[in-house]
Amino acid sequence: MAAWKSWAALRLCATVVLLDMVVCKGFVEDLDESFKENRNDDIWLVDFYAPWCGHCKKLEPIWNEVGLEMKSIGSPVKVGKMDATSYSN
């Protein structure tokens, strides 16, 4: 019985973590080199990050919350992120 409860608790935690990742990250767009041409007249808040950067990694969950908050209040501002090491030219 205790093993079943532990398994159920583990599944619940995994589900919560996955939902958090899917829901929050869903409002932050991963941008690529076509961003400059396709942005039109939209207003963007963009995080230019490096995958190896510790500070950038710490900012990621906060950035995802920013994307979620902007979407939830109906803001016209779009939130994105771009790997600055891949698109540095």
Active site residue ranges: 53, 56
For 23, left (φ over 0), alpha (ψ -120 to 50), or beta?
alpha
Question: What span, in angstroms and rounded, lies between the C-alpha atoms of 56 and 44?
Answer: 18
Enumerate the β-bridge partners of residue 49. Answer: 83
Q: What are the strands, taking DSSP E only, across the chain?
A: 28-30, 43-49, 77-83
